[in-house]
Amino acid sequence: MKIGVPKEIKNNEFRIGITPDGVQTLISHGHDVCVENNAGVGSGFSNHDYLKVGATIASYSKEVYQYADMIIKVKEPLPEEFDLIQESQLIYTFFHFASSASLTKAMIDRNAVCLAYETITDDQGGLPLLTPMSEVAGRLASQQGAKYLESPQGGLGVLMGGVSGVSPADVMILGGGVVGTQAALVAAGMGADVTIYDINPNRIEELQAIMPKNITTCLSSLSAIEKHLPKAHLVIGAVLVPGAKAPKLITRKQLRIMQKGAVLVDVAVDQGGCFETTKATTHQNPTYVVDDILHYAVANMPGAVPQTSTKALSNVTVDYAVKLANFGWQNACKQFPHLANGLNIVQGKVVHRSVAEVFSLPFVPVKNIL
Ligand SMILES: NC(=O)c1ccc[n+]([C@@H]2O[C@H](COP(=O)([O-])OP(=O)(O)OC[C@H]3O[C@@H](n4cnc5c(N)ncnc54)[C@H](O)[C@@H]3O)[C@@H](O)[C@H]2O)c1
């Protein structure tokens, strides 16, 4: 199969869809790989690194899209990339369709085959291709939160760990999955007083058993969250209902009961955000203020640490990339049902129920198209 790897063009996005090691694996299975010029530089990989393992280099993204049967990317295609996508081309990347009607429409119109990393599943009920990026984003969420709590950054001027005789920061984490757990561990490691809220009682039980003493768990409800808000310094949004829009857990009205300069970090922004006042931001302009509350809502947080993130992503995407290339997407999805769960839009049809529901589009079950 001919595989193309374009350069990412999202604001301050320095990741690339696959490392040279991953390319070498694909080539060892008899496939051809074409990488866009300097696409890996931000992640620490030169053109030469890709040439050395047998890839070719294309000068422009247009060449890559025209060449490839399968495109391997990191982030969802942006409007500048929509027209480059070829009829029936397989696009293997993060999409997060529920947060963008225009992306959904464009992919339907392009007749593309959209395999979304974020809805591929595993036997344990997890999302194995989302997990490493969630680990990165979770850890970053507390780092960023700590920074924006500083007064010169617009925050209320509280140190995460406090000091002798002065209480640490109060950190609320909404969602105790991968992002929430990693955010909690970093915040707790900095000495903050952390509470994790989740609606899944089993998850709460698991977390309670393994977390350090300065992390408390709480079964989530809108009233429990509201009660906690007046004393919170930092709130991290980390909920997920796979494929669907994130539920809104903090309303604009509730910002008034919070302390001025408190910080909201909405990691769930890629699924539409879990605060009513969330709007997606970029690494260039990561924050904005609503009613004296500082918001951070960067949709591609792991892009800030590309050397870590590219390797972590490639570690989990290459295996399925090989299967897709060896068998073709239809046969690979027939053989591996967890991979088939990644299919969101296929040649004009929405085959992921949650995406169809968000936009009231007709839903076609995957089995009907395989
Ligand atoms: N902004 C970024 O750069 C970035 C990067 C990686 C992941 N993410 C996003 O972060 C979010 C979380 O990802 P994850 O991997 O941790 O998911 P996850 O599935 O591991 O965890 C989500 C948790 O949210 C809980 N939850 C669901 N609804 C809830 C509610 N109403 N109240 C409280 N808890 C609720 C679930 O029980 C689950 O434990 C996703 O939207 C993901 O796409 C964003």
Whether residue 261 contacts residue 156, with contact meaning beta carbons closer than 8 Å, is answered with yes
Q: If you average pLDDT over residues 272-295, what whole number do you get?
A: 97
The C-alpha angle with vertex 298 and arms to 349 and 101, in degrees rounded to 5, equals: 25
Give residue 268 CA to ligand 1 midpoint distance, Å.
Answer: 6
Q: If you average pLDDT over residues 37-55, what whole number do you get?
A: 98
Give residue 299 CA to ligand 1 midpoint distance, Å.
Answer: 13
Give residue 175 CA to ligand 1 midpoint distance, Å.
Answer: 6
Domain termination residue (choose one: 272, 299, 326): 299
Tell me the catalytic residues.
96, 270
The chain-wide mean pLDDT, for the chain, equals: 97
Contacts made by residues 318-322, CB under 8 angstroms, sequence distance 24+: 318/18, 318/22, 318/25, 318/26, 320/92, 320/120, 320/129, 321/3, 321/18, 321/22, 321/26, 321/70, 321/72, 321/92, 322/25, 322/26, 322/29
β-bridge mates for residue 237, sequence order: 174, 266
Q: Are residues 331 and 249 in the same domain?
A: no
User: Quick one: pLDDT band at residue 275, thresholds 50, 70, 90?
Assistant: very high
Predicted local confidence at residue 104, as pLDDT: 98
User: Which amino acid would we find at residue 364?
Assistant: V
Residue pLDDT, tens place only, 176-208: 999 999 999 999 999 999 999 999 999 999 999
Predicted local confidence at residue 71, as pLDDT: 98
How far apart (Å, rounded) are the C-alpha atoms in residues 84 and 369? 24
Q: From atom 21 of ligand 1, which residue's Cα is the shortest distance away?
A: 177
Whether the predicted pLDDT of 125 surpasses 90: no
Give residue 326 CA to ligand 1 midpoint distance, Å.
Answer: 32
β-bridge mates for residue 111, sequence order: none
Whether residue 159 contacts residue 143, with contact meaning beta carbons closer than 8 Å, is answered with no
- Which ligand 1 atom is the nearest neighbour of the CA of 298? 1
Predicted local confidence at residue 106, as pLDDT: 98
Domain termination residue (choose one: 250, 275, 299): 299
Q: From atom 18 of ligand 1, which residue's Cα is the shortest distance away?
A: 177
**Which of 134, 144, 218, 296 to mutate to test ligand 1, by most ligand atoms within 8 A of the CB atom?**
134
Residue 126 lies in a domain: no
Whether residue 223 contacts residue 197, with contact meaning beta carbons closer than 8 Å, is answered with no
Whether residue 198 contacts residue 188, with contact meaning beta carbons closer than 8 Å, is answered with no
Report the candidate in 71, 68, 62, 64 with the shortest Cα–Cα distance to residue 107.
Answer: 71
Q: If you average pLDDT over residues 8-25, what whole number do you get?
A: 96
Residue 127 lies in a domain: no
Q: Are residues 163 and 185 in the same domain?
A: yes
Residue 19 lies in a domain: yes
Q: Are residues 67 and 112 in the same domain?
A: yes
How far apart (Å, rounded) are the C-alpha atoms in residues 68 and 33? 8
Q: Are residues 154 and 250 in the same domain?
A: yes
Q: Are residues 272 and 148 in the same domain?
A: yes
* Percentage with pLDDT > 70 across the chain: 100
Q: Are residues 261 and 159 in the same domain?
A: yes
- Which ligand 1 atom is the nearest neighbour of the CA of 179? 16
- Which ligand 1 atom is the nearest neighbour of the CA of 240? 22
Q: Are residues 171 and 141 in the same domain?
A: yes
Q: From atom 7 of ligand 1, which residue's Cα is the shortest distance away?
A: 134
Predicted local confidence at residue 103, as pLDDT: 98
- Which ligand 1 atom is the nearest neighbour of the CA of 303? 3
Q: Are residues 153 and 110 in the same domain?
A: no
How far apart (Å, rounded) are the C-alpha atoms in residues 287 and 264? 10
Q: Are residues 292 and 312 in the same domain?
A: no
Residue 128 lies in a domain: no
Whether the predicted pLDDT of 331 surpasses 90: yes
Q: If you average pLDDT over residues 281-295, what whole number do you get?
A: 97
Predicted local confidence at residue 116, as pLDDT: 98
How many domains in the chain?
Answer: 2
Please, what sign has the CA dihedral across residues 116, 128, 99, 140? negative
Residue 124 lies in a domain: no
Domain containing residue 250: CATH number: 3.40.50.720
Residue 334 lies in a domain: yes
Residue 100 burial (CB count, 10 A)? 18
CA 211 → CA 189, 215, 327, distances in Å?
Answer: 11, 6, 43
Q: From atom 38 of ligand 1, which residue's Cα is the shortest distance away?
A: 177
Residue pLDDT, tens place only, 63-94: 999 999 999 999 999 999 999 999 999 999 99
Q: End-to-end CA distance of the chain, in Å?
A: 19
Q: Are residues 274 and 147 in the same domain?
A: yes
Give residue 240 CA to ligand 1 midpoint distance, Å.
Answer: 3
Domain termination residue (choose one: 299, 326, 356): 299
Predicted local confidence at residue 364, as pLDDT: 98
Helix axis angle for 131-148 and 306-335, nearest 10°, is: 150
Q: Are residues 36 and 91 in the same domain?
A: yes
126-150 per-residue burial string, b: 16 or more CB within 10 A, e: under 16: ebbbbbbbbbbbbbbbbbbbbbbbe
Predicted local confidence at residue 181, as pLDDT: 98
Residue 125 lies in a domain: no
Residue 203 lies in a domain: yes
β-bridge mates for residue 172, sequence order: 195, 235
Whether residue 45 contacts residue 24, with contact meaning beta carbons closer than 8 Å, is answered with no
Predicted local confidence at residue 242, as pLDDT: 82
Whether residue 240 contacts residue 177, with contact meaning beta carbons closer than 8 Å, is answered with yes
How far apart (Å, rounded) are the C-alpha atoms in residues 124 and 192? 31
Spell out where the chain has E strands: 2-5, 32-36, 56-58, 70-72, 90-93, 113-116, 170-174, 193-198, 215-219, 234-237, 263-266, 287-290, 293-296, 343-346, 349-350
> In which domain, by residue range, is 37 found?
2-119+305-368
Q: Which residues line ligand 1 (CB under 6 A)?
A: 118, 130, 133-134, 137, 174-180, 197-200, 203, 220, 238-241, 246-247, 249, 267-271, 299-302
Whether the predicted pLDDT of 243 surpasses 90: no
Q: Are residues 173 and 72 in the same domain?
A: no
